[in-house]
Amino acid sequence: MIAANAAAPFLKFHRRWRRLGWHAVTGFLFGYVVLHSLSMLIFQWLDPRMAEAMPNHRAAGSLLAAAVHSFQPDMLPMGLVFGLVGAAIATFYGYHRLAVSFQRDRLAQELARNEKLRGELAVQNEELAALELANRRTTQFMAHDFKTALNCVGGFAGQLLAKPGLRDDREVAEALTCIRRQAHRMTGAVLDLLQLARMGEKGKPSVQRLSVTEVLHEAVGDFSLPAHAARIGLGDRHRRCPPLCANRDLLRRVLCNLVSNAIKHNGPNTRVCVDAEVSESGREVLFSCRDDGAGIPPEVLPLLFRKFAPAKEFSHGSSGLGLAFCKAAVEAHWGRIWCENLPQGSQFCFTIPLDKEHSHDQCIYDI
């Protein structure tokens, strides 16, 4: 059975070449018998004197005479020429068909392979989707656990810091502040990661109406900011900003990321200034975070805002996710984010549209 199967293509191949042979023979016969006779007829018709030259006088002038004459031995070379021409044409035609049939076979094979591959791809896709779902569930589950655990750590540190007896002991207060800061920092990172994943997989964040000044104050006073964050200043243009429709947590995390970057990637004496103003067009609020540090290293510039950019370019101990999160969060609000190096230090800017209709649409989802 298997042997028969294996021999099948060969047999098919063989049969095809044999058919080509038949084509040649038929072509030859057709040329010799039909075309040759026909040519005789045509010659006779063109030049009646030829009929006289034919030895078979009795049939002279009749159609048959020409046909019969074409089979005379002295006409053999002529017949051979016609036969060969016929054979050549037929062989050419046969060869063409053969090529087409080979191509058709190849195509069929290709199609079958495609079909098979498509099937495999579908299976793989399904597996991938299942894996991604499992992955997402695990991430969510872990993030939930982390959030709760870190919330306990940071929350209790905060509670203890509020107790006058403990707050007044400098050493204890410092330790508690440190615990609270690290817990808040980790919580921030977990939330950013979660949000980044969420924003990738589905639409827009829920938004609410917020005061720009309030958000800026919240961000600048965030417990997650590094210990030497004493030199963070707020500009004074933000007070003239109208309320904004945005997701409070996302906006605060974006600002926190920018401020903490400015401190983390520059010396402890860096001055940071955060502000917001209505842009020139009057259609968006322009947030800015400016520092007087060393500026962005040129080799890092093209990689900024890129998720999982090659980490070796970034400063030591960085995940390089901070700005990717910022970009995703700002773009989820239909805003833009960019950065520019100043003569001294750098400035990160982003916009959140004020567009009335736009924000009205979204604010329907206020919760």
Partner 1 sequence: MTNVSTTSKHILVVDDEPDFAALLRSILSDAGYTVSTAYDCEDALSQARTRRPDLITLDIQMPRRSGIHFYHKLKKDDRVRNVPVVVVTGLTRDREMENLIHSLLEPDKLPHPQAYVEKPVEAERFLQVVEETLACPIGQDR
Ligand X SMILES: Nc1ncnc2c1ncn2[C@@H]1O[C@H](COP(=O)(O)OP(=O)(O)OP(=O)(O)O)[C@@H](O)[C@H]1O
Binding flag, residue 188, ligand X (CB under 6 A): no
Which token pair is 205? 């964040």
Contact between 344 and 292 (Cβ < 8 Å) = yes
Residues 117-156, one symbol each (x = binds partner 1 by CB under 8 A, - = not), give: --------------------------xx--xxxxxx-xxx
Binding flag, residue 235, partner 1 (CB under 8 A): no
How far is 252 from 229, CA to CA, in rounded Å?
Answer: 16
198: partner contacted, choices partner 1, Mg ion, ligand X, none (Cβ within 5-8 A by kind): partner 1
The CA-based angle 301-303-305, given to 5 degrees, is: 100
Nearest approach, Cβ of residue 192 and partner 1 (Å) = 12
How far is 200 from 198, CA to CA, in rounded Å?
Answer: 5
Q: How many CB atoms lie within 10 A of CB 349?
A: 17
Q: In this chain, which of 261, 288, 351, 359 binds ligand X, going by CB under 6 A?
A: 261
HEC string of 74-129?
HHHHHHHHHHHHHHHHHHHHHHHHHHHHHHHHHHHHHHHHHHHHHHHHHHHHHHHH
As a whole number of Å, the end-to-end CA separation of the chain is 71
Which token pair is 312? 């070796």
Binding flag, residue 319, ligand X (CB under 6 A): yes
347: partner contacted, choices partner 1, Mg ion, ligand X, none (Cβ within 5-8 A by kind): none
Judged on CB neighbours under 10 Å (0-12, 13-18, 19+), 312 is exposed
Contact between 167 and 144 (Cβ < 8 Å) = no
Nearest approach, Cβ of residue 169 and partner 1 (Å) = 18
Binding flag, residue 344, ligand X (CB under 6 A): no
Q: Restricting to residues 153-182, name those near partner 1 by CB under 8 A.
A: 154-156, 158-159, 162
Binding flag, residue 321, ligand X (CB under 6 A): yes
Binding flag, residue 224, ligand X (CB under 6 A): no
Query: Where do contacts with partner 1 occur on this chain (CB under 8 A)?
Result: 143-144, 147-152, 154-156, 158-159, 162, 187, 191, 194-195, 198, 202, 205-206, 249, 365, 367
Query: Where do contacts with ligand X occur on this chain (CB under 6 A)?
Result: 257, 261-262, 264-266, 291, 293, 296-297, 300, 304, 314-315, 318-323, 346
